[in-house]
Each structure stands twice: as structure tokens, then as C-alpha cells.
A and B are shown apart, each in its own frame.
Chain A
Amino acid sequence: MLTSTLPRREFLKAGGSLVVTFSLAGLLPRAASAADAAKTVALDQVDGFLSIGADGAVTCYSGKVDLGTGVRTALTQIVADELDVPLDKVSVVQGDTSVTPDQGPTYGSLSIQIGGMQIRQAAATARAALVSEAAKRLNLAEDQLATRDGAVVAKGAVDRIAYGEIVGSKSFELKVDPKAPVKDPANYRVVGQSVPRLDIPAKVTGEFTYMQDFVLPGMLHARVVRPAAMRASLVSYDDSAAQQIKGFVRTVREGNFLAVVAETEWAAIKASSALKAEWSKWDGLPDEDKLWEYVRSTKINHSDVLQTVGNTAEAAQAAARKLSATYDFAIHTHGSIGPSCAVARWQDGKLTCWTASQATHLLRRQLALMFGVPQEDVRCIYVDGSGCYGRNGHEDAAADAALIARAMGRPVRVQWTRADEHGWDPKGPPTLIDYRAAIDASGNVVAWESEVFIPDAPKTIQVALVAAELAGSPTDASHPGNIQQSLAIPYTFPNVKATAHRLAETPFRPSWIRTPGRMQNTFGNETFMDEVARAVGADPIDFRVRHLNDPRGVELLQRLAVLAKWQPTRARGPSAGGIVSGRGVAFVKYELVRTYVGAVADVEVDKKTGRIRVTRFAVAHDCGQIINPDGLRNQIEGNVIQTVSRTLIEDLKFDRSTVTSLDWASYPILTFPDVPDVVIDLIDRPREKPWGAGEPTAAVVPAAISNAVFDAIGVRLRSVPFVPEKVLAGMKSA
């Protein structure tokens, strides 16, 4: 049983069984009020999401997890407000497959929009039930009752029943009522407020428990020894030198999966370098210098038309002018500062994995498939990790740990190295987009066509586990995420066609990295939009406004223009010492159905060196109802800065055998001296749905920079990253 081995600090007994939780600050253990084995994880049950203890403490069970974005705090606000309990009475249990409902992976900026709203509805249902029960006990009509401070109170009287008295530790046994009335937004007390993040005090004092800090008694440490080439086979290995290291336990090999295990982490590290492995030759990667030729010549499995308006071919025939351009966007790694880490333990044929996975329920299915055990025998428990920005190596580390732990019969911790993370996390795939526009004699755009070349997507959204691939265990094909999204445009051109060509191959395991596809597609769309606006002599903001039949989008662009002090006829900045300034705009209505973002980038281009400096970003943002304005600003700032880095610098390097960007020197990211200022206008719409905000802002960043560079020096950058060589080459050919 869990009790025999688990540290008191992490686990507490709760009603005869155990529920794994972390407190609000991730510090102190707290018992959940429902027993784990008995607790429902049904999405349609109030008990799936909420429990209230006899002391009135509320526990929220969230399938969505906090990846460092503040979701824990935002969910706490939502629950506290909807249930009318103080913030400090609410704790959130995240991503534990035994106790949290499967609300889908934490991706796509859906944690509040979908996850939070399921929880809000469960809380609204619970509140209605509490009022109804209190009405019976107080012998009052429901409309004579209100909820306040964790209790049902009689209006204008002293009668009061605390929730804890009504529910105790019992369950609600109630279906989530989709019609249960949620609070009028005018009555929210903490939703819409900049509640300080609950996890921050512990994170700035070393008191927080990250995945990398998690330990089990009797735990062994392992390091995986990676193949010299990505798909090389292990010919042989010699661990005689490793065996001389004090603390070394043994080598684990399964197919091409090779790992060393030791009693201490340092012994595992030393053993991993002492181990001699011989790998077969493999050089099946494309030539990096010819990456775009490779992408263009890759077999197309099928082509999907994503948007059709009118008939672009006919319209283009009659057009006076035609524009065409090709855009490309490099391969990126997630670049988490803390390499992936996991702890796994097998007991009686059952697997428990502690993981920073953004998708514990999905990981459970993948591990069950890999090891040929029923899903019920696998439990995955989320522990906060280093920011992942998508599907990085966290899940792979979990599979590594599970594979090694099975061989060892003891709990095993696997800590990826920096080279593991850069080299073996799945990658944002290379993206190539062709554009064509046709303009009539009066300067009207009569046709817009786009064709994106992206990896094909299997049925299910998941990324193959690298340990399963190396060991030859069952695993599913890798899915790149919904990277066709946001190729369709929001503009009212009379003829539009957007097509995604799905490729049979891509160089690396593809996965989603923040704003997957939407970033690449919006880069192409919004930069080509600038090309078209320039071609017809229009101001780029005015041009967008004229082609939007969408008051919310128009309002956003107008507020952006005010925020950025946009000057339609602004003369290009003077050249001072060869440094020229410029500004550019970009806009997105995310996936055409949600969050609106517009941005103006200010840049300085050094004409001698070709170096671009982004000095300032102005962002207007409308995601509907805002739960936590400061948390939202923090996310927007992060989106901007991370994407400035990806746009200016980042480009995964590889040879024919493997990734060669294996550290921060060979894959640099933006550092403090080059970070822009970020100014933000938040458009709050408390009566609208809260849409996602974790990634939409990133979508507009590359195009805004490209357009600003064109404004500065007249060079059109169509290839991310915008490294100095490309700027200089553009100036040469201009």
C-alpha cells in the first residue's frame, strides 16, 4: 500500500485511503476530503470536481494543471467566487489520474476557457444544492437565502448554516447541471481581481516542491544513454568502467534503450559517461542547408482546404496585379530551463508515475499501451515542473523512469540532461507557406490564397514516447498538434482559399510548442497582409480595419493604434550611426473563433551588422472575461518575450544523424539586454466568455517584427529566425 513507502510530507491519510495533494503553495500536504479509491472522476459529476470538508475547506480537482501560468490561482478564484467561500478555503488538486477528471491535456489556451468553465459550472451546481438543502433545514424559501463566506445565510436574519455542516465530508452525488445559474458578473468579488499568485512565495524561497525535487524512499537515480544517431541501433556496450564507480547499481538495456542506474545522482551521471556504447551508423536526416527543398519535395499524403470563399482561380485571372511570396519558419525546441524529470514506481504490477506532464490522463493511456497493462493499473500524478510550453520531454522522462523502475523493482528517478532536453524533446516542425494575392485595377484585393506544408496528423493527439520507440514497445504515431489552425483569415476578401498539405514525413518527432501552427500561419498571413497593404498604398492598420466585418476586432485595432500612438503616414526613422528604427503591426482572431490580439513592434535595425533589436511591443488583448488581470499581463509579457527570442534567434541545428543544438551555446535564447519593453491594453468584457490567453499573443509577434523591419529598411523578412545574415542578404538584394 502507499502508506508503507510514501513520505509523510507528500501524502496524508484521508478517511482510510490516500489522496495525493499539494497545498495552494505546493508546500504543505493536505488531505482531500474524499478517499481516492472511492472518488469519482466523472466529468458530469459535481464530486468529480469539488469536495467540501466538515471544516468547510473546499478542494477543487482539476484535470488541467498549472504549467507556471497561474492557472492554479485563477481556478481558485473561480471556485471561491462561484461558491462564495474565502480564497484561502480553496485548494486545488491537479492532474492526478486517480482523483481528477480527464479534462484533456493542458494545451491550446483552454485551461480557463474549457477547464475553468467546467469547474465553474460544477461550483454553481454545488451552490444551488447547498441553498436548496439549507432551505429545507431552515424551513425558508430559497429566495430568502443567500450564500456568503462559506455559508448559506438567511437574508436579513441571523440564520446561517456553514457548508461544512451541510455537506460534511460526504459527497454531493449530483450531476453537474449545465443550467445551474452562475453568478452575475457584477457580483464577482475575486474573479476579475489581480489576486497574487499562490505559488510565488514558495517559489522565491526554495520551499516549493518541483518535480525535480520529488523523492521517494529507496529511490534510485538513473541517466539514459542516448543513441549517437537518432535512429541508430545499439550494437554493444561495455559498462566495466561504470562498475568501478561507487554507488553504481547496474545498466538497463531494452532494445536500443540504454540507461545506467545508481544509488546517487552523481554516481549515475559519472556512470553515464563511463559507459561505452557502440551504435550503428544512421544518417537519415535531411541536409539542414536544404531543409526547405526537403519539405517541398516530401510526399503529400492529402491536402485539406481549410477555407474557401468565392473562387480564387477565376478572380486571379482577371486581376491587374499579382503578388506571391513564400514563408518559412524554423524547427524549434521547447527549451525548458529545467530538463525533464520523473519518478516511477511499480508495485504489484501497478505503475505510479510522478510527472510534470501537461497531460497525465493521456500519459496514463500511453504508458498502459507501452507496458501492456490495463489503464486502471497506471496512475500518473502531476507535480509542477519547469515550464514546458507544450509537449516537451516530461512525458518521455516518465516513460524512461517507468521502464527502468520495472527492471529494477525499486522506485527510479530519471533526470534528463541538458543535451537530452535539447536533443530529444519532440520538436516544433519546419513550416513552409506559399501565398498569392490578386489585386484589381482599383487597388482592391480580389483573391487571397495560402498553402501550408506541414506534417500529417494521425487520429489521436499524442506524441510517441521516446523510450517506447527505443525499446521497441508499442506506441502511437506522433501528432504535431492542430497546426493547421489560424491559416484561415478573418478578412473579408471576396475570394479566399487556404489549403494545408499534409506531409508523409518530418525530420523529428513533431509536437506542439506554444502557439503551434497558429504562430507560423499568423506569421505568414500577417506579413503577407503587410505586403498587400503596401502594394495598394494602404496604412496597415486601416487596411485591416477596412477588411474586418467584426466590431470587436475593429475596436481592438483602434485601441491598439491609440496605445501605440500609431501614425499612419509616419516617416521612416532617421538613420543614426547606421541604426534605423521602424514599426510594424499584426493582428489575430485566434483560430477565427476566440481571443483577439493586436500588436505593434518597434525595432531598430543595424544596417552594418544586420542585427535587429526589438525595443518595444504594444499589445491590445481581448480574451473576454478576465479572471486575473495581472496574471494575464504576466502571460502576455511572456508570450512576447519568448516569441521575440524564437523569431530573432532560434533555429535547431542538426547533421545527417542527430541534433547538434545540444546546449544553450548552440541554441541560444534571448537574454536580458535584448528584452523589449511590453505595454499592454487589456480589454475586459466581464459579461463575455473567458477565452484563452496562454498563447494567442505569441501568434502576432513574428509578423509584427517582420513588418517593422520592412518599415525600417525596406527588407521583407520571410524566414524565421531573422538572423543578421538574412537581414544583410535582404539588404544586398533590395
Chain B
Amino acid sequence: MKIALNLNDKTSVVEVDDPQMPLLYALRNDLGLHGPRFGCGLGQCGACTVLVDGNAVRSCLLPVGSVGQAKVTTLEGLGSSTHPHPLQKAFIEEQAVQCGYCINGMIMQAKALLDANKHPSDDDIKRALAGNLCRCGTHVRIVRAVKRAAQIA
């Protein structure tokens, strides 16, 4: 079946065998968007986070068939290396990456935070990112990057 997604401000159509397939696989395998990442498939780590109507959502658990006309934004929808979004720019400036596997989730979760709270404190940021796991231990830089993004946005 064909499913039309309102994705990164465009309509993207995917042909899927099973509408129960999580959105993550449609984004990664059918649409070639590698920003969202597979980390657990359980909604525990946050690596797959995308925005759905502005809310940070774990795309590994969201059936592609249930997205409907909701507005989906992925990391690629924020910006590119030539035209980075303020959050992406801040992560580059703070060098807030080690292996970078979790960073998609950090940026997308932070986007949802900054949309709701323009000037978060360190504690606000830590609370907002509490459900996003990083194994390399880049946390202190990530908090600085989100703070910097709030200042430059």
C-alpha cells in the first residue's frame, strides 16, 4: 500500500507491505533519511527521535500507517552541513559529538524543548534529555550546545 507522509515540508510517498511497520524503517530504508537511527526499537534510547507535529516522538515505535497527515520533521529537515539549523550549528561549535550515534535524538529532543522553552536552564535541558541515552559520555557538551543554540536562535 502507498502511504503519503507530510515529511520535512514535502509530501513523500512510500510503498509499504505493512502499515504497522514503524516510521523509522520507512524513513531510513524507503526514503534514505539516515538522521533517525535504530538504537533499541523499544523507545528506551531516543536515537530514532523525530518531530511529529512538533512533539519529539520515538519513530521506532510509531506505525507508519498511523502518522496520517501529521507533520514529520527529521534531522535532515532542520538543516544541512552547508546550511545548518542553529542547533546543528551549536553542536558543531561546541564539538558536542563523539561517535555521534545518539546525536540525532539529542538534537530533535532539544528542538522540541527549545520550541516550548526559549531560555532553558541547565536543569531544564538535563530533564528534557533524560530519556535520551549517550554512551560516549558527551553529555556536558550536549548541554552546552543546547544552551548555545538557545542563545543564537
Binding site for B on A (CB under 8 A): 25, 27, 67-70, 196-197, 199-210, 212-213, 246-247, 264-267, 269-270, 335-339, 384-387, 389, 415, 417-418, 630-631, 634-635, 637-642, 645, 663-665, 669, 671-673, 675, 677-678
Q: Contact: A204 with B95, CB < 8 Å?
A: no
Interface residue B102 (Cβ < 8 Å from any Cβ of A)? yes
Contacts of A645 on B, CB cut-off 8 Å?
A: 137
Q: How far is the CB of A466 from chain B (nearest CB, A)?
A: 20
Partner of A415, one of B17, B35, B38, B103: B38
Residue from A27, A264, A386, A672 whose CB has the most chain B CB atoms within 10 Å:
A672
In-complex Cβ contact of B139 among A208, A384, A641 (8 A): A641
Interface size class of B (residues with CB under 8 A): 35 or more
Residues of B with C-beta under 8 A to A336:
101, 135
Q: Which 3 A-B pairs have the closest CB atoms?
A: A68-B99, A206-B35, A641-B137
Q: Give the one of A27, A630, A637 with max B CB within 10 A.
A: A637
Contact, CB under 8 Å: B81 / A25: yes
Residues in A neighbouring B38, C-beta threshold 8 A: 212, 338-339, 415
**Residues of A contacting B104 in the complex (Cβ-Cβ under 8 angstroms):** 206
Question: Which residue of A200, A267, A642 contacts B100 across the interface (Cβ within 8 Å)?
Answer: A200
When A204-B103, A206-B104, A418-B40 are in contact, do A671 and B92 touch as well, CB less than 8 Å? no
Residues of A with C-beta under 8 A to B125: 672
Partner of B138, one of A67, A205, A631, A634: A634
Q: Which single member of B79, B133, B137 contacts A638 (CB below 8 Å)?
A: B137
Give chain A nearest CB distance to B56 CB in angstroms: 14
B127, A204: Cβ atoms closer than 8 Å: no
With contacts A205-B81, A337-B39, A641-B139 known, is A672 near B129, CB below 8 A?
yes
- Whether the pair B101, A200 counts as a contact (CB closer than 8 A) is no
Chain B residues 117 to 148 lying within 8 A of chain A, measured CB to CB, are: 123, 125-127, 129-143
Choose among A206, A210, A270, A339 the residue with the greatest number of B CB atoms under 10 Å from its CB: A206
Closest A residue to B30 by beta carbon equals A264
Min C-beta distance of B66 to chain A, whole Å: 15
**Residue of B at shortest CB range from A221?**
B29
Contact A247 B137 (CB under 8 A): no
Of residues 24 through 57 on chain B, the ones whose CB sits less than 8 Å from some CB of chain A are 25, 28-29, 33-42, 44-45, 47
A638 near B42: Cβ-Cβ < 8 Å:
no
CA distance A677 to B141 in the complex (A): 10
Give B6-24 as 1s and 0s: 1 = Cβ < 8 Å from A's Cβ atoms. 0000000000111001100
In the complex, whether B88 has a CB less than 8 A from a CB of chain A is: yes
Instruction: Pick from B74, B95, B135, B139 the residue with the most CB of A within 10 Å.
Output: B135
Residues of chain A contacted by B75 (CB below 8 angstroms): 204-206
A204 to B76, CA, bound (A): 9
Cβ contact within 8 Å between A206 and B76: yes
B100-A207 in contact (CB<8A): no
CA of A67 to CA of B79 in the docked complex: distance in angstroms?
25
The answer for the CA separation of A23 and B33 in the assembled complex, in Å, is 20
B97 and A669 contacting across the interface, CB-CB below 8 Å: no
Rounded to whole Å, the gap between the CB of A705 and the closest CB of chain B is 15
What B residues does A415 contact at CB under 8 A?
38
Question: Are B133 and A387 interface neighbours, CB within 8 A?
Answer: no
CA of A562 to CA of B15, assembled, Å:
63
List residues 75-101 of chain B with CB under 8 A from any CB of chain A: 75-76, 78-81, 84, 88, 91-92, 95, 97-101
Q: Which of A69, A338, A417 interacts with B37 by CB under 8 Å? A: A338
Complex contact B133–A204 (CB within 8 A): no
Query: Closest CB of chain B to A201's CB: distance in Å?
Result: 4
Are B35 and A386 neighbours in the complex by a CB distance under 8 Å?
A: no
With A266-B16, A642-B135 known, 10 other A-B pairs at CB within 8 A are: A68-B101, A201-B88, A204-B75, A204-B88, A205-B80, A206-B76, A209-B34, A213-B34, A634-B141, A664-B44
B17 near A68 with CB under 8 A, answer no
Shortest Cβ distance from residue A724 to the other chain B in the assembled complex, whole angstroms: 19
Cβ of B5 < 8 Å from any Cβ of A? no
B150 within 8 A of A: no
Tell me, in angstroms, the Cα distance from A70 to B96 when the chains sit together: 12
Say if the beta carbon of B114 comes within 8 Å of chain A: no
Q: How far is the CA of A267 from the CA of B132 in the complex (A)?
A: 27
One of A197, A663, A675 near B97 (C-beta < 8 A):
A197
Cβ–Cβ contact B95 & A669, under 8 A = no
Pick from B21, B40, B130: contact of A672, CB under 8 Å: B130
Q: Roughly how many angstroms separate A645 CA and B133 CA in the complex, as a whole number?
A: 12
CB-defined contacts of A267 to chain B, threshold 8 Å = 17
Contacts of A70 in B (CB 8 A): 98
Docked CA distance A212–B78 (Å)? 22
Tell me how far the C-beta of A674 lies from the nearest C-beta in chain B, rounded to whole angstroms: 9
* Complexed CA–CA distance, A698 and B100 (Å): 20
Whether A387 and B40, one on each chain, are in contact in the complex, defined by CB atoms closer than 8 angstroms, is: no
Which of A208, A210, A337 gathers most chain B CB within 10 Å?
Answer: A337
Cα of A202 to Cα of B140 in the assembled complex, Å: 21
B residues near A672, Cβ cutoff 8 Å: 125-127, 129-130, 132, 139, 142-143
Partner of B101, one of A247, A337, A418, A664: A337
Q: B107 an interface residue at 8 Å Cβ cutoff?
A: yes
In the complex, chain B residues whose CB is within 8 Å of the CB of A338: 37-39, 47, 101
The answer to whether A200 and B91 have CB atoms under 8 Å apart is: yes
Q: Is the CB of B137 within 8 A of A640?
A: yes
Chain A residues with Cβ below 8 Å from B123 are 673
Residue from B47, B76, B98 within 8 A of A205 (CB atoms): B76
Cα-based distance from A389 to B80 in the complex (angstroms): 29
Interface core residue of B138, B139, B141 (most chain A CB under 10 Å): B139
A123 to B22, CA, bound (A): 49
Are B92 and A204 within 8 A (Cβ)?
yes
> Whole-angstrom distance from the CB of A659 to the nearest CB of chain B?
16
Some 29 contacts from A to B, beta carbons below 8 A apart, are: A69-B98, A197-B95, A201-B88, A204-B100, A204-B103, A205-B81, A207-B80, A209-B34, A212-B37, A266-B17, A266-B18, A337-B133, A339-B40, A385-B101, A386-B101, A387-B98, A389-B135, A418-B40, A418-B44, A638-B138, A641-B139, A642-B135, A664-B42, A664-B44, A665-B44, A671-B131, A672-B125, A672-B142, A675-B140
Q: How far is the CA of A270 from the CA of B20 in the complex (A)?
A: 11
Query: Is A204 a contact partner of B97 (Cβ separation < 8 A)?
Result: yes
List the B side residues contacting A641 at CB < 8 Å. 137-140
What chain B residues lie within 8 Å of A417 (beta carbons)? 41
Closest to A215 in B: B29
Contacts of A385 in B (CB 8 A): 99, 101
Complex: how many Å from CA A642 to CA B143?
Answer: 16
| B84 adjacent to A201 (CB under 8 Å) | yes
A387-B136, A634-B98 known; A270 vs B18 contact (CB < 8 Å): yes
